[in-house]
Amino acid sequence: MSASTSTTHASLNKEKHVRYWLRCLKTYLPSVYISNEAQRMSLGFFILSALDLLGALHTRITASERTEYADWILRCQHPDGGFRGFTGTMTGEENTNEWDVANLAATYFACAALVVLGEGMDRVKRKECLEWVKSLQRANGSFGEGIGKGGVVEGAEDMRFCYLATVTRWFLRRGEDMDEVEDINVEGLVEWIKASVTYEGGIAQAPLHEAHAGFTYNGVGALMLLGMLPRHTDKSKNEGTMSAEFVENVTKWLVSRQTLMLHEGDELPMVDDEPPDMTPKFFPRTFHVQGAFPVSVTDAILQNASVEISTHDLQWAGFNGRCNKVADTCYAFWVGGTLGMLKREHIQDFNAIRYYLLDKTQHMIGGFGKLPGDGPGPFSSMAIEL
């Protein structure tokens, strides 16, 4: 569509991204990351995995350094199975107090990081970990994130935990010696995920909540690893999997996330805010934006043929996470990744999202920001290096 335009697009500044991630790995993250301390394991995984994807983990880091990073991860392993997200709750080498507990997200990221490091699962207490994961499942099929006092399952009912439990099981439940470990209730989990599919076609944090791209990734990802996606071209082999209707509806919901609305200013302010600025920069001159986000209720219709979408504007299209929201870097991963799991990635406008990321959110010092003009951060950047 936009082949005729002459804009030159940015490319991935690979060396700058490598240096950004090496800085994250080898120096202290700044003090503002104190509020992320409990997620150190996930930050650690993002850093290692980004370097791996950029081809630098085995060239710019020595083997002994890689072993030491693995040692730190294993230091966080809980004696009763699972991993902590950081060392901050540990009060001694041997004894663990009852507030020093394993956390599901940390466990998933620890396993994933050990794989990336080439360490594998040899030093993981696989049996204990699988039993601990099973203990996190509730009667309704959903998972919590940890075990609190008196064996209570802690944490909200949350699609993220279902995904994390499913992947951890996939990492660890391998080989004959694991068959003796009692499995999670797969059927109950699938039912709970089905109940979280909303009337819009996407998946929510929990039943009846709003469809959201992150939770849709989690739900579809869990279904994929449980063998519940109908991925065979031979339809008779898809028996017992999710319906074709589910796949069509979620596909439509996912492609609907692609949007030209790239800035907060493209959204209409709430009534209590300042009146909207009516200048063209506020409402880019494309009918998509003008039509979808009307200046006033009476204008709220698509403009007629006099305003065509310009091929210029169509070059950059990000993804949002929910209906009628602004685009955000991270959803390129959540939406694109989910379409990939459904083997439908060709249905998105790949160039438009690529140029959105490279031209609009890539940062001059390396890394990617959340929104155009934002500084870089490991969360957004990792989503994109993937």
Partner 1 sequence: MGKYSDSDEWEDIVPIPQDDGGLNPLAAIAYTEEYSEAMSYLRAAMAEDEKSDRALGLTEDIIRMNPAHYTVWLYRADMLFTLQKDLLQELEWLNAISLKHIKNFQIWHHRQVVMSHIPALPPTEIAFLARMLAKDAKNYHVWSYRQWFVRHFSLWDSELPYVETLLQSDVRNNSAWNHRWFIVFARYTDPKQHSIKKGDADSEIPLEIMRREIEYTKAAISTAPQNQSPWNYLRGVLKIKGMGLVELKDFAEQYADLEKEDEVRSSHALDFLADVYAEEEHKERSAKALELLARRYDPIRKNYWDYRRSLLGLELVGA
Sign of CA dihedral 78, 117, 25, 164: negative
**CA nearest 285: which of 267, 310, 256, 264?**
310
Instruction: Give CA angle at 285 (279, 291), nearest 5°.
Output: 100
Q: Which of 181, 374 has the CB closer to partner 1?
A: 374
Question: How far is Cα 43 from Cα 113, in angstroms, rounded to an integer?
Answer: 10
Q: Which of 174, 243 has the CB closer to partner 1?
A: 243
**In the complex, what is the shortest distance from the CB of residue 140 to partner 1, in angstroms, rounded to a whole number?**
7
Q: Which of 174, 248 has the CB closer to partner 1?
A: 248
**In the complex, what is the shortest distance from the CB of residue 184 to partner 1, in angstroms, rounded to a whole number?**
18
**In the complex, what is the shortest distance from the CB of residue 206 to partner 1, in angstroms, rounded to a whole number?**
7
Query: Which letter does DSSP use for residue 89 in this model?
Result: G
**In the complex, what is the shortest distance from the CB of residue 285 to partner 1, in angstroms, rounded to a whole number?**
15
**In the complex, what is the shortest distance from the CB of residue 270 to partner 1, in angstroms, rounded to a whole number?**
6
Burial class (CB in 10 A: 0-12, 13-18, 19+), 319: buried
Question: How far is Cα 267 from Cα 105, in angstroms, rounded to an integer?
Answer: 33
Cβ-contact 211, 237 below 8 angstroms = no
**In the complex, what is the shortest distance from the CB of residue 330 to partner 1, in angstroms, rounded to a whole number?**
13
Q: Which of 52, 158 has the CB closer to partner 1?
A: 158
Q: Which of 149, 176 has the CB closer to partner 1?
A: 149
Question: How far is Cα 84 from Cα 100, in angstroms, rounded to an integer?
Answer: 8
Q: Which of 278, 301 has the CB closer to partner 1?
A: 301
**In the complex, what is the shortest distance from the CB of residue 348 to partner 1, in angstroms, rounded to a whole number?**
7
Token reading at 180: 């003796």
Q: Which of 52, 200 has the CB closer to partner 1?
A: 200
Q: What is the DSSP string of 50-81?
A: HHHHTT-TTTSS-HHHHHHHHHHHHHTB-TTS
CA distances from 43 to 25, 249, 320 (A): 10, 33, 23
Q: Which of 15, 248 has the CB closer to partner 1?
A: 248
Cβ-contact 181, 192 below 8 angstroms = no
**Residue 90, SS3?**
coil
Q: Which of 1, 174 has the CB closer to partner 1?
A: 1
Please state, as a whole number, how many other Cβ atoms lie within 10 Å of the Cβ of residue 367: 27
Cβ-contact 358, 7 below 8 angstroms = no
Find where tokens 């979620």 sit. Answer: 250
**In the complex, what is the shortest distance from the CB of residue 209 to partner 1, in angstroms, rounded to a whole number?**
5
Contacts of 357 (CB under 8 A, 6+ apart): 318, 329, 332, 368, 384
**In the complex, what is the shortest distance from the CB of residue 72 to partner 1, in angstroms, rounded to a whole number?**
5
